[in-house]
Structure 1
Amino acid sequence: MMMKNILKILLLALLPLAGNAQTVTTSPAVFTAEDEVTITVDVSGTSLAGHAGDVWIWAWIAEGCSTNCDAPTNIDPAGGENTEDAKVTRDETNPNVYRITFTPVDFFGKAPSEIGKIGLKLKSQSWGDGKQSDNDLTVAVQPLIFIPTENRTFPVKFTGEDVVTLFFDQNLTGSSDMKSVTEIYAYLFVSGQNADGTDFLDVPKAQWSDVGSTPELKLTDRGDGIYSLSLIPEVFFDVTEGATITKIGYIFRNAEGTVQSDTFEAFPLTEE
């Protein structure tokens, strides 16, 4: 009997923790201070849950900044032009989920080197309302390091649900023949794991002979010898339902397939 009572007490103590489902995610999962990012916050289990009025983000630079680290929109009570950029959007299907999209350097008015981590809370118009997300949340910002190379991906790390862009720099290619190609295509293939635990290897978007007649594999000419192709892995590739893509292989080539670059690889995050 005493053991049962102890178990009941422990369960009751854990209930408040289980009810607080406050979470934060970003898209893309990895970003720099100069990238546009969408921050999504679930306020379930907080005093803001079920709130029907407008909601704002209260944000600050939690790492890398020495002075004036609050966002210029941190004004209480919120409302009016000065806080308009901090207003978040409520999800249409889940009223406890909110999103906001911004570029950190613009939102904070700081240099990239001063933005290493963003701290945030969501709140109703006034702190005095007593309606806000419970704990300080933080999201990491990657350092802005760019070294020109023949190929690169942005972001460097990504999930299967993120938009990833493959870049080809014609000026830096190791293939002299590729330097004169005017229409560039990508031969793309993926590896990963099926829902049943079996592996799949080098599954192509299109066969080598079909790449030149597949419009979605043609790169966009961005000028100055830079070409790019953007895609969402889980949407772009034809893999079985529930499969996880762990690696993307790609070769840049001409439409005919007679001229090509080296083989490159990109590794998305396997966990959200």
Structure 2
Amino acid sequence: MKKIIYTILLAILMSNLVQSQEAAGSIGSMSSYPVVYKYDEQVTWYFDLSATTFAPTEDVYIWIWSPSEPDAGNWEHSSDFAKLTYVKDGVWSFTLTPTVYFSKTPEEIAASAGFWFRLKNYDGSKQSEVANMAYTDFSSFYTANELIRSYPEKPTIDKAVSILFNSNLKEGFEGVPSVHFHSGLNDWAVLQEYQAWLPDVSEKTKLKDLGNGFYRMDLIPQEYYNTEPGFVMENITFLMVAKDWTTNSGDQIIYAGEFIPPPPPSFGFFPLQISQKDFLGMSRKNNESGVNKLIYTITAGSKVITGEFGGNTAEIKGFVNLVSELDGIQGLTEIHVLVKDNKDKTISDTTMPLKILDK
């Protein structure tokens, strides 16, 4: 408890130190691959920064102070080893082996307050809110007398899943060179078989040996099975198979979680009728991951007006002051408005009539 309180107090102190700098916003969803891992294993952390002001072209660094502070003293010039990698759609990643990165034993990391950090630019002039990367302790599986356990319990097609296997509960696995994942989706409708005679398939389907007869399989279903867009996963059916099919676990099944697609994006102008003496508003809600700007080009006769609005996945909204922009221009009956997002996708390309005001 004392360590947790100390960590929170340190975060508050750091907030005071950097309060004059640019706040990039809060980190969105965070995840790891594999989903569950030991502290002495390599893991990749993922951070959704699509709702922050970090741009895909920026260099982003992690500044972490718990369980230890590997980049201590370098707030104004982050070290290269603390640099994140841009993945796509506003998501960055950071790969580490916790025991190596923090110079701590697994026991010391487990006893710490956890992984507390900020994400920042190189010189620290921009930083995220304080965040904590959650860790899932799966050690109870070793004594649970369960054959199979899935993290999460009900996986979805586009997110990582870790499947644990206790081979001690099945005869014939003791001393086998390797264990493989012979599997399919939706009652074997989509297959990824274990084909022992094909080296690349044998490697792809191989489970990680955790020692003492325990194994783990890590995958993202839509990537692992190469499913078509729109495929709905209902279950993962599988066997855990010893090398060369000398024995197997028997049929197993993991039911998928309900996949709830996000609501479609919606865009609109307001008010619906405008004159050149109005403010033109535009709003887009339910934006795709990584979309955080609307970039507009308004053509009014010979005049071209450009600009952009920032926002997040929930909504991007802004106004254009036509009163000042079109002041003194006579005879306008319409304007052309082109709106794109920060990925250069056209959101709206329309001509809007202008209401003629009485003189």
TM range (shorter): 0.5 to 0.7
Q: Contact 2:118 / 2:130 at 8 angstroms: preserved in 1?
A: yes
- Counterpart of 1:12 in structure 2 is none
* Structure 2 CA distance for aligned equivalents of residues 28 and 85 of structure 1: 19
- Of 8, 24, 33, the match for 1:28: 33
CA offset digits 1:31-66 (Å, max 9, x no partner) = 3451412232416543xx3496643212233xxxxx
Q: Percentage identity across aligned positions?
A: 18
Task: Decide which of 85, 89, 92 is 2:85's aligned counterpart.
Answer: 89
Structure that is richer in helix per residue? 1
Q: Give the residue type in structure 2 aligned to 1:23.
A: G
| 2:49 paired residue number | 42
Which is greater in Rg?
Answer: 2
What secondary structure sits across from 1:30 in the alignment? coil
Residue in structure 2 matching 1:107, options 80, 101, 120: 101
Q: CA deviation at 1:75?
A: 2.5
Q: Residue 245 of structure 1: SS of its match in structure 2?
A: coil
1:90, distance to aligned residue in structure 2 (A) = 3.9
Aligned-partner residue type, residue 126 of structure 1: D
CA distance change for structure 1 residues 116 and 154 in 2, over 3 Å: closer, same or farther? farther
Residue 191 of structure 2 is aligned with which of 205, 221, 227?
205
Higher relative contact order (CA 8 A, sep 6+): 1
Cα deviation, 1:86-106, whole Å, max 9, x if unaligned, reads 122345x66x65332113333
Aligned 8 A contact 1:116 1:140 in 2: no
**2:133 paired with 1:126:** no
Match of 1:189 among 151, 163, 184: 184
Number of aligned residue pairs: give it. Answer: 225
Any conservation in 2 of the 1:29–1:159 contact (CA below 8 Å)?
no
Aligned to 2:237: 249
d(CA) in 1 for partners of 2:59 and 2:149? Answer: 37
Q: Do the aligned residues in 2 keep the contact of 1:56 with 1:123 (CA within 8 Å)? A: yes
Q: Where does structure 1 lack aligned partners over 5 or more consecutive residues?
A: 1-18, 62-68, 192-200
Distance in 1 between residues matched to 2:213 and 2:38, nearest whole Å = 25
Question: When you count strand as a share of all residues, which structure comes out higher?
Answer: 2
Residue pairs, 1:114-263, within 5 angstroms: 114-115=111-112, 117-127=114-124, 129=125, 131-133=126-128, 135-143=129-137, 145=139, 147=142, 151-152=147-148, 159-161=156-158, 172-175=168-171, 186-191=181-186, 201-203=187-189, 205=191, 216=201, 219=206, 231-237=219-225, 239-253=227-241, 260-263=248-251
Which of 98-107 and 223-232 deviates more? 223-232
1:199-238 per-residue CA deviation (whole Å, 9 max, x = no partner) reads: xx4535168xx96677636646969867776543213336
Instruction: Give, in angstroms, the shift of residue 141 of structure 1.
Output: 0.8
* d(CA) in 2 for partners of 1:29, 1:254: 22
The AA in structure 2 aligned to 1:190 is L
For the residue of structure 1 that corresponds to 2:119, the secondary structure is strand
Deviation (angstroms), 1:249: 2.4
- Aligned-CA RMSD value: 4.5
- Report how far residue 30 of structure 1 moved: 3.1
Shift of 1:140: 0.8
